[in-house]
Structure 1
Amino acid sequence: MPSVFQGAPKREATPEIQASIMPPQKRKNAEAEVDDPREATSTKKQKNQSSEARSEKVGSNSTKGILSLPSELWTETLKNLQAIGPLTRAPSDTPVLPETYLERTDTLRALSQVCVAYRRAFLPVLWESFTACCSARVSAKTKSGSFYKHNGEALLRKCAGFTANSELAGFVREAHVILTRYQAATLIPNFSAALGKLPNLHTLHVLHAHTAMTTALKTGFEGVTLPQIRTLIIPGNGHEILRSCPHVLTVRCTSEDGSKLITVIGKHCPDVQEMHGFCTEESYMKRMVKAAPNLRVFEISTYNPENVVQFLPRFKKINTVIIRTPRSREDKQAAALQACIRTVVKGLKDLPPSTEERRVRLWHDDWETRQSESGGFFTEVDLGQA
């Protein structure tokens, strides 16, 4: 089934909840966007206390403050803090995300440092997302053009930390990074090695990779296998990373035409079921039929849908076509979109009968909020009415 990435609507937190969330503590190292994982030691390495005293403390605090609320409530409250999602994109004028994305990290870190009970509740949430893709804090007085150094050093520090702290490494589910030429000969091998030490990592999101670092990526990922990754969001020049993910299910191309990614999918990634952001010209479609025989979900634009429809019968497992369209108040009435919907629906109806439900979905791409976690929203097309 297709992946649905939807952002949660903003909600006003009650005064009780706001009072429960402590403001972030002032950082000793203002330039570091996230603490070194080596410094976030496990509860076993905290101040020496007797087991009885610690148990008493944990028990007394586990029902106080924000932890006195149902977990669903404080989890929903945290959604008001901007998070990085699979569809989050960097601004057009810089490859890094703004400082506002650090607020969620700061809040979770502060909560995890309150006491043992809070640490047990919030440390896993803090580290479920591994990020090195934000601009430096204003207080760090880092030059605006040196984002590559700031993020490069942050990535090196975190990679070393995860290698040293297997407990935190086990928390990580998603990684969101930018890759530049800064110390690439050292950074890329360390990064690929650290990814291999994250057993529960399922999503790797590269928001930016410099176009002139193909050789560095090839060298850094050579011999590396990341069987745990199921979703890969990369630019078109990230094919050397894709080569290391043999069991990836979803591939999203964020730049270029995806030609190099198609080649790698055909040779190294037989399990691919979803493809987004790829060119749909006829020559590309012919290659995709051979490269991804297990394709179930495919994303297209409203441009020339006939190229896609003629190849649908050759994808034996296809069940969902996603039509990407810019978000606007009149987008449903746009002639090009309506024509595309009719063409795709007819193409699906002409396929041989299937036991699985077939769907046409519209992805309304919101470029005005391109930095948000969701980046848009889905609507379903009624195949009976189209």
Structure 2
Amino acid sequence: MPPRKRSRKKAKAVQSEAHDEEEEVPRPALTGPVNVNTTGFSVLPAELLLEIISHIPCLPIPALPKDLESTYADRAKLSQMCRSLRRAFLPVVWERIETLRRNASAKSLATELIRQLEIVTVRDPSLAAYVKVVNVELTNYSCDTVMEEFARCLALFRNLETIQIFYTSGCPNVVDTQAAFKDRQFPSLRSVVIPDYAAAILPSCPGAQSVTWTSQMQVDSTIAWCPNIRRFSGCAHYPSPGRHVEWVNWHLVDGKVLANTLFLPTVYIIKTVGEARKPADDSTCRSSEHVIPRKVYERDLVMLDVRGTSNVSKRYLAYLA
């Protein structure tokens, strides 16, 4: 009688059991060298890497409308090149939260803002300690939700120093802004650049030393909310990059508002933009449009820089000195 053949099902089961037994046998650990990049750009000292990345242009504070272009993507690409560069560049990437794109829709700006905030506060909360500057363009898209999340995340950035909010045609509702920032405190903030619709942020910044209004200036409110203010400016046309002086644009400030500057005990620089000439009666100083009391220049000011026209004489500057 011929031997009975094993069924195909049993044969497959036996083969699979044998295969499993082979996999359970421990394999010897790899003792060879691990592939590590020991040459090239990524092995430069951290100091040199940071010096290199510092030459990537950053948005100035305050910024011109033509400058509204985030460099976040450029910095992020550097951190994604390899593991070594990621360790060096990751803190630099998240030093700034920026959502600025020319001709971007309100929805895309709001979505990008929420995405970046989620990364540094939810996905990896350790990144929140790196954030020092926030440059954002707020819109009216899902205003109440976005503003509430924005205010919540700002409170988590314990090293935040500067916030710059840009004016948009579809600006957020003032009521939503007030509700979102009510009872919030950002004690580390030192520099604030905001339009008038974001005035509700100032009560949350008691340590602010520099306040710049990019639309209608609110002098009295600034003084009341920021007792440590040292530099105050309002502008429609910003100074050129690299000028380390604070200024007031006469085209936005009338005599009455500028007179309130007398109540700023520590303001020490005012920079005029536009035509200025020596007053006839030594009591007032006239710009191209407004009359400013002479005494404004005599109180707590250590520097006055007049620029913008060619007919400003040295005699006039000597008169103000």
- Structure 2 CA distance, aligned partners of 1:263 and 1:171? 33
Q: Is 1:157–2:115 an aligned residue pair?
A: yes
**Change in 2 beyond 3 A, CA 1:200/1:219:** same
2:187 aligns with 227
Q: CA deviation at 1:74?
A: 6.4
- Structure 2 CA distance, aligned partners of 1:53 and 1:87? 54
Q: CA deviation at 1:89?
A: 2.2
Paired residues of 1:181 and 1:213 also in contact (CA < 8 A): yes
Correspondences of 1:154-233 after superposition (within 5 Å): 154-164=112-122, 165-209=124-168, 210=170, 213-233=173-193
1:321 aligns with 304
2:280 aligns with none
SS of 2:160 mapped into structure 1: coil
Q: CA deviation at 1:236?
A: 3.1
SS of 1:241 mapped into structure 2: helix
Under a length normalisation based on structure 1, what TM-score does the superposition of the two structures give? 0.60
SS of 1:228 mapped into structure 2: coil
Gaps of 5+ in 2: 1-30, 235-247, 278-284, 286-291
- Structure 1 CA distance, aligned partners of 2:114 and 2:53? 32
Which residue of 199, 202, 207 maps to 1:247? 207
**Change in 2 beyond 3 A, CA 1:195/1:265:** same
**Change in 2 beyond 3 A, CA 1:77/1:227:** closer
**Amino acid paired to 1:299:** K
Gaps of 5+ in 1: 1-51, 136-143, 326-330, 350-386
Which residue of 64, 71, 83 maps to 2:40? 64
Q: CA deviation at 1:188?
A: 0.7
- Structure 2 CA distance, aligned partners of 1:220 and 1:169? 20
**Amino acid paired to 1:266:** I
Q: Is 1:97–2:68 an aligned residue pair?
A: yes
Q: Is 1:121–2:88 an aligned residue pair?
A: yes
Aligned sequence identity (%): 20
Q: CA deviation at 1:129?
A: 1.2
Q: CA deviation at 1:252?
A: 1.5
- Structure 1 CA distance, aligned partners of 2:318 and 2:195? 30
Q: Is 1:310–2:269 an aligned residue pair?
A: no
**Change in 2 beyond 3 A, CA 1:177/1:183:** same
**Change in 2 beyond 3 A, CA 1:112/1:62:** farther
**Amino acid paired to 2:129:** G
Q: Give CA-to-partner distance per residue, 1:61-107, whole Å, 9 cap, x none.
A: 4763254278447634652x44322132224xxxx935xx4xx4334
Paired residues of 2:158 and 2:188 also in contact (CA < 8 A): yes
Q: Is 1:236–2:207 an aligned residue pair?
A: no
Which residue of 60, 65, 77 maps to 1:85? 60
**Amino acid paired to 1:154:** E
**Amino acid paired to 1:160:** E
SS of 1:298 mapped into structure 2: strand
2:24 aligns with none
SS of 2:260 mapped into structure 1: helix
**Change in 2 beyond 3 A, CA 1:168/1:63:** farther
- Give the aligned length: 260
Paired residues of 2:259 and 2:293 also in contact (CA < 8 A): no
**Amino acid paired to 2:254:** E
2:15 aligns with none
- Structure 2 CA distance, aligned partners of 1:202 and 1:269? 15
2:268 aligns with 296
CA RMSD of aligned residues (A): 3.0
Larger RCO (CA under 8 A, 6+ residues apart): 1
Q: Give CA-to-partner distance per residue, 1:270-328, whole Å, 9 cap, x none.
A: 111112224442211222222x2111222332345712643122x33x22334453xxx
2:240 aligns with none
Correspondences of 1:139-150 after superposition (within 5 Å): 147-150=105-108
SS of 2:135 mapped into structure 1: strand
**Amino acid paired to 1:310:** K
**Change in 2 beyond 3 A, CA 1:213/1:320:** farther
Under a length normalisation based on structure 2, what TM-score does the superposition of the two structures give? 0.71
